[in-house]
Amino acid sequence: MNQWRAAWQSIGYRKMHNGLSVILLAISTGLILLLLNSRNSFEDSFKKNIKGIDMVVGAKGSPLQIILSSVYHIAPPTGNIPLEEYQKLKKHPLVEAAVPLSYGDNYRSWRIVGTDSNYAQWYELSLAEGRSFTRSMEVVLGAAVAQSTGLSIGDEFEGSHGFDQEGDHHHHHPFKVVGIYQASGTVLDELILCPTASLWDVHHQEGPKEITAALIRFKSPMANLMLPRMVNEKTPMQAALPAIEVNRLFSLADSFLRFLNILAYILIGIAALSVFLALFQGLKDDEPQFAFLRAIGSPPRKILEFIWIKGFLIGVVSYLIAILLNVIAFQFIGTLVSPAYQLSLNELLLNSNTLYVFIGLIGIVALASALPAWHAYRINIIKTLANA
C-alpha cells in the first residue's frame, strides 16, 4: 500500500488522539500567523496613511490624539483652531503644502470631512465615478462608504451631528453625491469628503471661521526642527509629528505583543508534545504490524518514512486549518476596524510570514516525530511478535 495513503488511514483510525493534536497545532499556528500578519497589516496601514505628512496641527492637547483623529480618523479631535492661524502657517516659507480638515458630523457613522481637493491628491486617489466637489454641499464618497451605504451619483442625504449616527440630523441641509473614489487601501476609503464651507453652512457658523486640524508638508528638513516648536510656543495650536507619534504608539503595543508571542510559543510547545504523544501512541498500537513487516523483509527505512509522513500530514492539515482561521479572523477584524485590514486567502498564502511559519511548523512536527521514528527504526522483531 502507498505510504501516504497508509499514513492518512492510520490518522483516521485514531481520530481522538490525532484530532486533538491537529486542533492544538492549528490554534497555535493560527495565533502566530494572526499576530505576525496583523502586526504587519497595521504597521503598513499606519505608515501608508502618514506618507507625505510631515506635521499635523490641531487644538492644544495630546499630540497622539491629534494624529489619531486627524490622520486616521479613529479618535475625537482635541478641539478647533482659528482659520486665520492655519492660513498664516500655510504661507510660512518652510511650508510646501497644507490641507485643512474640518469634521464633527457623520452619515451612518461614516465621517464627513470638510477639506479641499488637495487632500485626495496627497493620497493619489482617482475617481471611479463622477467628479470632484466644486461647491458647498457636494460630496465625494470613499470606496468603503459607497459600498456600505449604497449611495450613488446624484443621491442626497442628511448628516448627523457628532461621530454617532444617533446624533441630531441636520435637516434642510442635504449633501449631494457627485463622485466616488476608487479603493486605495487608505483611510480616505472610509470618509465622505466635501468643501470646508459645507460644514460652516450646515452649522450656520458666523464670525471668525474655524477648522479642526491641518496636515502640513515641509519644504526642507530644517522645518522639522523649527516649525513644531514655533507652532507650540507662538500659536494657539498644537503641533504633532506623525512619525514620532506612530512609533510611540507601536512601542506602547510592543509589551502586549510580546506577551501574545510568548503565549503562542507556549501553545506551539504544547501542540508539539501532543503530536509526539499521538505518534508515539500510534506507534505502540502498530508495533505488531511493523514487526510483521520487518519479519517478511520490509526495510526499516519504510517504517521510518511512515512515521515521518504521518507527522507531516498532521502538520499540513493543521496548517490549512490555521490559514482558514486567519482568513475568518481578518474578515472579522476588517468589519470591526477597517476593510483595509482584511486579508484575502491569496494574500495570506503569498505572504512571506505564512511561508516562514509553514517551514517552522514542519520543522516542529519533524522534531516531534523524531523519537517515535527512531523507536520504530529500532523495533525488536522477535520480542514484539512474541508479545503480540
Looking at residue 300, its pLDDT comes to: 65
Instruction: Compute the 3-state secondary structure of the chain and give helix, strand, coil in percent, each to the nearest 5.
Output: 60, 15, 25
- Decide: helix, strand or coil at residue 198: helix
CA distance 373 to 368: 9
Q: Of the ranges 26-40, 171-185, 279-293, which one carries the lowest mean pLDDT score?
A: 279-293
Q: What is the DSSP letter of 183?
A: P
Q: If you average pLDDT over residues 149-163, what whole number do you get?
A: 89
Q: Compute the mean pLDDT over every residue in the chain, rounded to the nearest whole number.
A: 82
Looking at residue 202, its pLDDT comes to: 87
Q: What is the pTM of this model?
A: 0.74
Res. 336 pLDDT band, cuts 50 70 90:
low
CA distance 208 to 206: 7
Cell numbers representing residue 76 in the block: 475625537
**H/E element, 295:** helix 242-295
Assess whether pLDDT exceeds 60 at residue 161.
yes
Looking at residue 172, its pLDDT comes to: 67
Q: If you average pLDDT over residues 101-130, what whole number do you get?
A: 93
Assess whether pLDDT exceeds 60 at residue 12.
yes
> pLDDT tens for residues 122-149?
999 999 999 999 999 999 999 999 999 9
Above pLDDT 70, what percent of the chain?
81
Residue of 80 and 8 predicted with greater confidence: 80
Cα–Cα distance list, 285 to 5, 10, 143, 271, 364 (Å)? 18, 10, 59, 21, 23
Looking at residue 223, its pLDDT comes to: 92
Above pLDDT 90, what percent of the chain?
39
Q: If you average pLDDT over residues 203-214, what whole number do you get?
A: 86
Residue of 105 and 329 predicted with greater confidence: 105
Q: If you average pLDDT over residues 46-52, what whole number do you get?
A: 83
Q: Which of 2-11, 162-171, 356-365 has the highest mean pLDDT?
A: 356-365
CA distance 145 to 142: 5
Question: Residue 249 phi/psi, 5° resolution?
Answer: -65, -45
- Name the E strands within 138-220: 138-141, 156-157, 160-161, 175-181, 191-195, 210-211, 213-218
Q: If you average pLDDT over residues 196-202, what whole number do you get?
A: 91
Looking at residue 195, its pLDDT comes to: 96
Cα–Cα distance list, 153 to 144, 170, 202, 313, 332 (Å)? 15, 21, 21, 53, 29
- Name the E strands within 79-155: 81-82, 95-107, 110-115, 127-130, 138-141
CA distance 330 to 336: 10
Looking at residue 82, its pLDDT comes to: 95
